[in-house]
Structure 1
Amino acid sequence: MTFSAWVTAHYEEKGPVIWLAFFLELIAAVTLFLLMMLTCADVFGRYFLSNSVDGTTELTEMAIAIMVFAEMPVITWRGGHVVVDILDRMMGSTLIKILGLVAAFLMSTSLYFLAVRIFELAERSLRRSEVTEFLQFPTGYVVEYIAIMSWITAALMISYGVYRLLFLSRD
């Protein structure tokens, strides 16, 4: 089986989004693996060598941010967010679609403007040369990554969210 056939068989997305999903999940998986290795090395060093890995806390914080924001667009595209549908039985399908469209618009708009503010904070952090306390890593790059992934999530929320509600909804 070729690599392309494997990706097609294991991912539900179509077109170029399948490669975006694969790439983002690869980033999250590699980050999780590196985080696991870092934790093992830190615990081993702490208990058997009396010397832990320097900067573990900072690296763990950055790795968690990378994993969460790499998966956020994929989860949004797949419609994997928590949905409360308590009142769906009492409302008609048209009203549910309208409320879903309003929710998709509000969430994507909010996420877009939040990403704008996050990017402004990243630029300010880079201008001021803010770095992490121990490793001296510039924090602005991680914050820029968060803003970019938030923009991607907002775009996927409005585009595929609306498509999903209009064309793939269960009537």
Structure 2
Amino acid sequence: MGALSIVGLNQWVTEHYEEQGPVKWLAFALEAFAGVVLMALMLLTCADVVGRYFFNNSINGAVELTEIGLAVLVFAEMPLVTWRGGHVVVDLLDNLLGNAVVKVLGLMSALAISGGLYFLAERMFYLADRSLKREVVSEYLEIPVGYVIQYIAVMSYATAALMITYGVYRLLTEKHS
């Protein structure tokens, strides 16, 4: 029974994800994780609203958990959106510029975004380390914020790496007319 469900999951992932190799499973894992976080945020918000309006008592720390959950959700999806090229792109001048110029601009854009994300991640790791050393915690639930900042840094590193690989891949494979 267990092998059958693993085969079924493998088939489902293969049918629904166009990525190849380990990136396919990384995409599935990140989307499943983001889905669980989104469901938890939805249930938390519903419970908080019901508690507030029907029992005159909201959930303590719901705002903190929502803020952390949103950060986790956004940064879990950021590498996937980047790899799939789901960012907003303005291509007003692509028809006027030659194919080679568009490719060079795309590569420069990928390098600039990757570099920015890399330096953001470096700074975030520094801030996370400082927060953990100082034992900085959230206001109500006293959650160590350094771990959340470390997560953001790791996902920023992953996004930077995927941006540069996607940028090079796109440069080598896409044709603009």
2:13 is equivalent to residue 7 of structure 1: yes
- Distance in 1, matches of 2:172 and 2:147, equals 37
**Is it true that 1:53 corresponds to 2:71 in the alignment?**
no
1-side partners of 2:167 and 2:16: how far apart? 22
1:149 aligns with 2:155: yes
Which residues in structure 2 correspond to 1:59-74 (within 5 Å)?
A: 59-74=65-80
Distance 1:169 1:140 in 2: 44
**Alpha-carbon displacement from aligned partner over 1:72-111 (angstroms, at most 9, x marks no partner):** 0000000000001011111000110011011101110111
Q: Number of matched residues? A: 171
The 10-residue stretch of structure 1 (160-169 or 2-11) with the greater mean CA deviation from structure 2 = 160-169
Secondary structure of the residue aligned to 1:149 is helix
CA-to-partner distance for each residue in 1:43-76, whole Å, 9 max, x for gaps? 0111111111010000000000000000000000
**Structure 1 residue corresponding to 2:125, chosen from 116, 119, 140:** 119
- Distance in 2 separating the partners of 1:140 and 1:169: 44
2:35 pairs with one of 13, 29, 42: 29
* Greater displacement, 73-82 / 158-167: 158-167
Matched residue of 1:2: which SS? helix
Q: Does 1:128 align with 2:166?
A: no
Describe the SS at the equivalent of 1:136: coil
Amino acid at match of 2:88: V
Counterpart AA for 2:111: F
Identity fraction in percent = 60
- Unpaired stretches in structure 1, ≥5 consecutive residues: none
Q: 1:117 to 1:141 in 2, by over 3 A?
A: same
Measured in 1, the distance between the counterparts of 2:15 and 2:175 equals 24
**Equivalence for 1:84:** 90
Q: Which amino acid aligns with 1:5?
A: Q
> Please, what is the CA RMSD of the aligned residues?
1.0
Within 2, Cα distance between the matches of 1:25 and 1:168? 26
Query: What is the aligned partner in structure 1 of residue 4 from structure 2?
Result: none
TM-score norm. by structure 1 comes to 0.97
SS at 1:162's partner residue?
A: helix
Letter in 2 for 1:79: G
- Report the Cα distance in structure 1 between the residues aligned to 2:65 and 2:8, rounded to whole angstroms: 35
